[in-house]
Amino acid sequence: MEDNQRTEIAELGEFGLIDHLTQNNEITQAGTLLSVGDDAAVIDQFGKQTVISTDMLVEGVHFDLMYTPLKHLGYKAVAVNLSDICAMFATPTHILLSIGISNRFSVEALDEFYEGVYAACAKYNVDLVGGDTTTSQKGFIISITAVGEVSPNEFVTRSGAKNNDLICVSGELGGAYMGLQLLEREKRVYLENPGVQPTLENRAYIVGRILKPEPRADIVSWLQEQGIKPTSMIDISDGLSSELLHICKQSNVGCILHEEKIPIHDETREMAFEFQIDPTMCALSGGEDYELLFTMPPQDYEKIVLNEQISVIGYVTEAAEGAHMLSKGGNKHKLIAQGWNAFGQ
């Protein structure tokens, strides 16, 4: 088989393309009664409550194909949507995927993208049950709707944080932002000197954080197994500070965040120093980490410390006290949202 074979989308037509892209679509959920191929999918949630979220990714705004492999993009598109389901303390079960594509993409390119989609579906035991394809005048547009299930009234919102609750976060923060800075720098170098190969050695962690994020379904499962139900929860797509402020606003509380407790990977620190950026700022304002930020009652502290993937980074206060961070030097700074703004200039 020739590696450079190119099949034009027009050769297959819309329905032929859908048939082609979904021919290897495997169903794993017992609740999937009817999948791709009819007017709508049919799902039986067996007495569970249904959680639904949707998200859009636009080329040139959310991703750059100069350094984002299509397979990674397919995986990430699914992962970031499943993260929203996890942030509701629910289990992802299904997705619908719609794409807008221009004729610069071949069928082989879309096969690569779907390879990543199916890899994420397989890893998180999620079924692809529908979607749409359409022509885009310019660029690649991806829209995913994710569906999940949760036991009746066990979902967790952003509005339940209480005074004295502990503030917890999964994983480590700021890595995706530094991975993006590195890729953008190497892109600039490449555009100026096309013969120069990118220097990404020893930076697999931060590059992986931006190109292949993972939803923290494992944290949700662990908390459920331990009988710990967070009082509020959100996923970190826009940076720690803006997500924490969302919880404070919707729960009508304040908070104290301890800078020294914010978990930051060594590689993120090294790269931040190389770029002369404060690593704490990467965690507070960087975004795209897709870790879970949640609050929980203090009495669950003994259980939480058993999980090395969870850090307690502060506590909830009365709303009147506002939202602050205590720096390593002991100074109190007002928390401000400086994260990603989809409509910012």
Domains of the chain: 9-150 (3.30.1330.10), 166-334 (3.90.650.10)
pLDDT at position 339, please? 53
257-315 pLDDT, tens digit per residue, is: 999 999 999 999 999 999 999 999 999 999 899 999 999 999 999 999 999 999 999 99
Q: How far apart are CA 199 and CA 184, in angstroms?
A: 12
Token representation of residue 218? 């494992």
pLDDT at position 39, please? 67
pLDDT at position 343, please? 42
Residues of the chain short of pLDDT 70, as ranges, are: 1-3, 37-39, 339-345
Tracing tokens 């993208």 back to the chain, one arrives at 113
pLDDT at position 286, please? 92
Q: Which helix (H) or strand (E) holds 24?
A: none
pLDDT at position 3, please? 59
Cβ-proximal residues to 121 (8 Å cutoff; 6+ apart), any chain: 78, 95, 127, 128
pLDDT at position 337, please? 80
Q: How far apart are CA 79 and CA 164, in angstroms?
A: 32
Strand ranges, E, within the chain: 32-34, 42-43, 49-58, 91-101, 127-135, 141-150, 166-170, 232-235, 253-258, 292-296, 310-318, 323-326, 332-334
- Which residues in 227-261 are b (16+ Cβ under 10 Å) and which e? ebbbbbbbbbbbbbbbbbbbbbeebebbbbbbbee
Nearest to 268 by CA among 188, 207, 314, 219: 207
Q: How far apart are CA 264 and CA 11, in angstroms?
A: 49
Burial of 101 (0-12, 13-18, 19+ CB in 10 A): buried
Q: How far apart are CA 124 and CA 331, in angstroms?
A: 42
Q: How far apart are CA 35 and CA 102, in angstroms?
A: 26
Query: Sign of the CA dihedral 79, 83, 89, 94?
Result: negative
The rounded radius of gyration (Å) of the Cα atoms in the chain is: 21
pLDDT at position 342, please? 44
Got the DSSP string for 271-297?
HHHHTT--HHHHHHH------EEEEE-
Does residue 31 sit in helix, strand or coil? coil
Tracing tokens 């190119």 back to the chain, one arrives at 6
Q: How far apart are CA 183 and CA 171, in angstroms?
A: 22
Does residue 152 sit in helix, strand or coil? coil
Which residues, in sequence order, are bridge partners of residue 324?
Answer: 256, 334
pLDDT at position 35, please? 73
